[in-house]
């Protein structure tokens, strides 16, 4: 993946243009790596690199210096291996039964989060594969994946019996995005106690929020995700450089008289003679429906001709409507593009209006856009 530009659908056939900034992605990685030093900075590229595209994003992160990557699924690991033959790749969601040969063939390291998975990987290594490295996931308070602390203690006692090397001990922070949340310090203390049982094994606790937080959370390796892609990871830290710019095609301009409704459900009524622009994208393209506007609540906005223009009415599957009354008539016309992400509008702005998080907005951006990477 050494190309300068990667495109998907022809621009003239799509409702929007999604521009992905490889330079910003590399700069964000460099900033996080500097923050984490002397710990190694890995890159989390699960969820199709948070919606940006696994292969081109990973190639640029490798060029920026990342050597260790985390995915969620073996199929993501297979895709990643095809473009990064020398990378260290961990599969966060564990060891899928029957997929052991895939981990072997693709040189993937499972993140083992249960006694059953550990026994199965050990048996696979003993039976045919040889000593293949894996990570051990210990739960310190998330109550999701991971060994219970008592199981981790038992594993440490019989570590010499394992048929594979433990390459990494990791856990996952539950509340690091909320400064001063007491659970974070409790998890840190519990993780330190577990790490002490595995001398000589590298340890990893910090996600994006942890990387941007207390250096005590960094240990030997940090695993940033959302911060790499320009999303806000902590309430007290501004987002890094935006990586995504989304521009939506203006299909039509029309006038709406005062008192007339706009869109499905007549959710919003024009309070004045209103000029609206109809944009060719909707919730099928990843624009969250709850970010629409109504008479009771203000929705998201886009930028047109340097002016912030609020949505008017609901977001539908393929279209949104925007109030452009305050934009001079000679500065907006059908065929122009409105900026939905970029120019000061980020994924977290859309998320706030949709009562969700920037992660969901970013990973939901659809496949109907013309996509282009530039560096």
pLDDT value, residue 25? 98
CATH of domain 244-374: 2.40.37.10
Digit-coded pLDDT (tens) for 156-215: 998 888 999 999 999 999 999 998 899 999 999 999 999 999 999 999 999 999 999 999
Digit-coded pLDDT (tens) for 234-290: 989 988 999 999 999 999 999 999 999 999 999 999 999 999 999 999 999 999 999
- Tell me what percent of the residues of the chain surpass a pLDDT of 90: 93
pLDDT value, residue 130? 86
In the chain, CATH 3.20.20.10 covers 38-229
Catalytic residues: 46, 264
The closest of 176, 223, 168, 218 to 29, measured between CA atoms, is: 223
Determine if the pTM surpasses 0.85. Answer: yes
Is residue 157 packed enough to be buried (19+ CB in 10 Å), middle (13-18) or exposed (0-12)? exposed
Digit-coded pLDDT (tens) for 105-143: 999 999 999 999 999 999 999 987 789 999 999 999 999
Instruction: Report the distance separating Cα 89 and Cα 87, nearest Å.
Output: 6
pLDDT value, residue 180? 87
Which are the contacts of 182, defined by CB distance < 8 A and separation ≥ 6?
A: none
Handedness of CA 70, 286, 175, 215 (dihedral sign): positive
Structure confidence at residue 1 as a pLDDT band (50, 70, 90) = very low
CATH number for domain 38-229, candidates 3.40.1390.10, 3.20.20.80, 3.20.20.10, 3.30.110.30 = 3.20.20.10
In the chain, CATH 2.40.37.10 covers 244-374
């Amino acid at each position: 993946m050494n190309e300068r530009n990667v495109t998907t659908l022809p621009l003239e056939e799509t409702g929007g243009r999604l521009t992905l900034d490889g330079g910003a992605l590399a700069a964000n990685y460099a900033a996080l790596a500097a923050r984490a030093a002397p710990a190694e900075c890995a890159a989390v590229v699960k969820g199709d690199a948070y919606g940006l595209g696994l292969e081109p994003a990973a190639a640029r992160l490798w060029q920026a210096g990342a050597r260790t990557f985390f995915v969620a699924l073996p199929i993501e690991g297979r895709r990643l291996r095809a473009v990064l033959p020398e990378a260290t790749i961990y599969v966060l969601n564990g060891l899928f039964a029957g997929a052991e040969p895939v981990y072997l063939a693709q040189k993937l390291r499972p993140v083992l989060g249960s006694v059953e998975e550990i026994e199965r990987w050990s048996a696979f290594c003993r039976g045919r594969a040889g000593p293949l490295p894996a990570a051990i996931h210990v739960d310190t308070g998330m109550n999701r994946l991971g060994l219970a602390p008592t199981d981790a203690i038992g594993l440490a006692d019989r570590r010499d019996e394992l048929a594979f090397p433990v390459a990494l001990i990791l856990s996952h922070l539950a509340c690091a995005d909320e400064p001063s949340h007491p659970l974070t310090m409790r998890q840190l203390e519990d993780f330190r106690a577990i790490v002490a049982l595995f001398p000589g094994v590298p340890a990893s606790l910090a996600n994006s929020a942890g990387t941007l937080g207390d250096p005590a959370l960094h240990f030997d390796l940090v695993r940033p995700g959302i911060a790499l892609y320009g999303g806000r990871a902590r309430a007290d830290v501004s987002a890094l450089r935006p990586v995504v710019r989304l521009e939506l095609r203006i299909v039509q301009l029309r006038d709406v008289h005062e008192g007339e409704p706009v869109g499905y459900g007549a959710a919003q009524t024009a309070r004045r003679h209103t000029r609206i622009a109809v944009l060719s994208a909707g919730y099928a393209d990843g624009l969250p429906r709850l970010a629409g506007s109504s008479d009771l609540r203000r929705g998201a906005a886009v930028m047109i001709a340097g002016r912030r223009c609020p949505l008017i009415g609901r977001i539908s599957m393929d279209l949104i409507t925007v109030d452009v009354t305050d934009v001079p008539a000679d500065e907006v016309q059908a065929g122009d593009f409105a900026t939905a992400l970029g120019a000061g509008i980020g994924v977290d702005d859309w998320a706030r209006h949709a009562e969700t998080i920037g992660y969901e907005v970013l990973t939901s951006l659809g496949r109907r856009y013309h996509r282009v990477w530039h560096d």
